[in-house]
Amino acid sequence: MYAGTPTPEVWRLSYGKTKVFSRPPLKRGRLVVLIDLSGSMMCWCSKCNLEASGTGGRSNRGWLAFQVVGALATRFPEITVLGFCSTDGRNYIVPLEPNSQPLCRKKKDIPRGNPDCAALLYLENMLQGSLEGVRAVVISDGEPAGPYPLRCNSPKHTQDIAERLYRQGVRYISVLIGSSAEGARGDLYPRGDLYPSDISARINSEGDLENLTEILTHLSER
């Protein structure tokens, strides 16, 4: 049985030549977005963001993060979106529709921890070892931080898991929300310490959303 798209050489079939079909493009690996829902992200709803920016403050990190998710979902509607947060006793992974977001933080008691390691372990379990070609976009404003139930060196734990999944084929894209180039523990990702990212972007304000162009292009080419 032969399969593929016929080429102008299809006439060669009558002479027993079978290499006349072009190969279909390889199927892109699964695209998964891991989004930080911890307390430092603040609220993601438009009302809270308007209140924050209306007082001369900057856009809420949570609101900026979900603008990023919206941009990704518009280009890649098949994406899987997983929010992550934690309390002292439990990690939470929150599956989200690509074009939705959680309720206003003021209306829902959302845990405030930032357990990157738990999100990565969930991803590994969800895909059951089929990690080759998976692209993981990590959207967060800082290093892993409590409250969280894993009593370990959380940044190092995250780094170890991220490296292990990288060796199994996962490729990372980092979107850093409300951060600066220097990096500081507890607020920002020190570049290169957590994720072996192929590409990253920093989103500090609504105007910075144009920084996603390179990431969108990068994802489209793979």
pLDDT tens digits, residue range 152-211?
767 888 999 999 999 999 999 999 998 654 444 444 444 446 899 999 999 999 999 999
Q: What share of the chain is helix, strand, coil (3-state, %, to 5)?
A: 35, 20, 45
More confident residue, 67 or 59: 67
Full set of structural domains in the chain with CATH: 27-220 (3.40.50.410)
63-111 pLDDT, tens digit per residue, is 999 999 999 999 999 999 999 999 999 999 999 999 888 999 998 889 9
198, burial (CB in 10 Å: exposed 0-12, middle 13-18, buried 19+): middle
Tokens 């991803």 belong to 123
Quick one: tokens of 41? Answer: 């992200």
Tokens 């003021």 belong to 106
Overall pTM surpassing 0.85 (yes/no) = no
Quick one: tokens of 158? Answer: 């995250």
Which pLDDT value is given to residue 145? Answer: 85
Closest-CA residue to 136 (of 84, 183, 188, 213): 84
Q: Are 137 and 31 in contact (CB under 8 A)?
A: yes
Percent of the chain scoring above 90 in pLDDT? 61
Q: Are 119 and 157 in contact (CB under 8 A)?
A: no
